[in-house]
Amino acid sequence: MDLVTVLQVLDSTVRLATPLLLACLAGLFSERAGIFDIGLEGKMLTAAFFSAAIAFVSGSVWLGLLAGIGASVLMAGLHGLASITFRGNQLISGVAINFLAAGMTVLIAQDWFREGGRTPSLIGAARFEPITLPLAETLRGIPVLGPIYAELISGHTILVYLAIACVPLTWWVLYRTRFGLRLRAVGENPAAVDTAGVSVVGLRFAAVGICGVLCGIAGAYLATALQAGFVKDMTAGRGYIALAALIFAKWRPWYALWATLLFGLLQAVALRYQNIELGGLVIPVQLMDALPYILTVIILAGFVGRAVPPRAGGIPYVKER
C-alpha cells in the first residue's frame, strides 16, 4: 500500500470519526454528571434534519448549524426533564428520544419537502466547504511530510477542526476547572456536592445541555459537511457506536479521541476495500460493513477490559430532607 492510499484511508478516517468524536464527548459530559444517555442517536438525527432543512431554506449553513444545535438542546432538555426533574428511568428516556427522532424527522421532512422523508440536496453556502490551510499547496511537493500536511491535515471542514479542538478543551474543563471538578463529583457522590451547597440539579442540567450542543454539532456535520442533505436514519447507529467508544475510552477525553479514530478507521476500510482476499479467502463486503458494529458489540459485552462508570450514573438524586 503506497503513501497516497494510506493518506486517503486516514483522511476518510478523520472525516468519519468526527461525528463519533463529538457524540462521544457529549456522552462523556452527560455520564460524568451521572446521567446515562442512550439518546445520543436521536439528538444527532434531529440536529441533522433541522440543520439541513434550515440551511436549504435560508441558504446559510451557519443558520443551519444553529438550528441543529437548538433542536438537539431541546431534545436534551426533554431527557433532562424526564431524568432529573421527574427522576424517570434514564435508559427508557434515551430510547424514547431515539424513537421520537426517527419518526419525527421523516414525518416533518415529508410534510415540508415532499421528497420521501429527505431534504433537497445542499449546495453552495448551504454546505460547509473544506478549508485549505496556509502553505498546503506550497509544501505538497516535500516528500512524505508535504503530502501528510496537504492531504491529511489540510482540506477538512471547520467542524472537523472544532471537534479535534474539543478534546483538549474537554480535558481542561473536566480536570482544570472548578466546574469540571463539581461535574465529576456529582457523578460520583451527588450527596456530597449537595452538602457543599452546590446544586446537583443545576450541574446535571448543565451537563445535559453541553451534551445537546455537541450532539447538535455532530448531527449538523453529518448533514451539511459529510453529506449534502438529510436522509432517513442517516445517523446509522453512530450514537450507539459513540457510546461503545465512550466505554472503550473509560470516560476520558484523550482516550475518546483514539477510540473514535479506531471506529472511523474500520468504517473507512470497509468503504474503500470491498471483498478483501486473505490467503485465498474472500471476505464479503457485508462483513466489512459490519466490522464497526461487531466491535461495538464486543466492547459493550465487556471483552475489552474493565470499564467502571461513574458510581452515581443512572441513579436519580433525591435530596434528603
pLDDT digits (tens, 9 = 90+) for 26-45: 999 999 999 999 999 999 99
Report pLDDT for 284. Answer: 73
Cα 48 from Cα 67, distance rounded (Å)? 9
Cα 221 from Cα 235, distance rounded (Å)? 11
The pTM (predicted TM-score) of the whole model is 0.94
Cα 243 from Cα 211, distance rounded (Å)? 13
Cα 205 from Cα 190, distance rounded (Å)? 13
Supply the DSSP string of 14-35, one letter for each residue. Answer: HHHHHHHHHHHHHHHHHHHTT-
Report pLDDT for 235. Answer: 94
Report pLDDT for 295. Answer: 76
Cα 303 from Cα 295, distance rounded (Å)? 10
Closest CA to 40 of 218, 202, 178: 218
The three grid cell numbers given for residue 299, joined into one nine-digit string: 466492547
Looking at the DSSP bridge assignments, the partners of residue 281 are 278
Task: For cell 442533505, name the residue.
Answer: 229
For the chain, list residues with pLDDT below 70. Answer: 1, 274-283, 285, 300, 302-306, 320-321
Report pLDDT for 238. Answer: 93
Cα 262 from Cα 299, distance rounded (Å)? 13
Cα 245 from Cα 153, distance rounded (Å)? 23
Chain-wide mean pLDDT for the chain? 90
**Would you say 215 and 22 are in contact if contact means Cβ atoms under 8 Å apart?**
yes
Query: What is the fold, at CATH topology level, of the domain defined by 3-300?
Result: ABC transporter involved in vitamin B12 uptake, BtuC (1.10.3470)
Dihedral sign for Cα 261, 119, 106, 209, please. Answer: positive
Buried b (16+ CB within 10 A) or exposed e, 187-223: beebeebbeeeeebeebbbbbbbbbbbbbbbbbbbbb
The three grid cell numbers given for residue 111, joined into one nine-digit string: 410534510
Report pLDDT for 277. Answer: 64
How many C-beta neighbours within 10 Å does residue 155 have?
Answer: 17
Radius of gyration of the chain (CA): 20
Dihedral sign for Cα 37, 42, 48, 53, please. Answer: negative
pLDDT of 98-138, one tens digit each?
999 999 999 999 999 988 889 999 999 999 999 999 888 88
Report pLDDT for 223. Answer: 96
Report pLDDT for 212. Answer: 97
Report pLDDT for 304. Answer: 62
Report pLDDT for 151. Answer: 87
The three grid cell numbers given for residue 78, joined into one nine-digit string: 426533554
Q: Tell me the residue ranges of DSSP E strands in the chain.
A: 276-278, 281-283
Residue 80 identity (one-letter amino acid): G
Report pLDDT for 208. Answer: 97
Report pLDDT for 137. Answer: 83
Report pLDDT for 201. Answer: 94
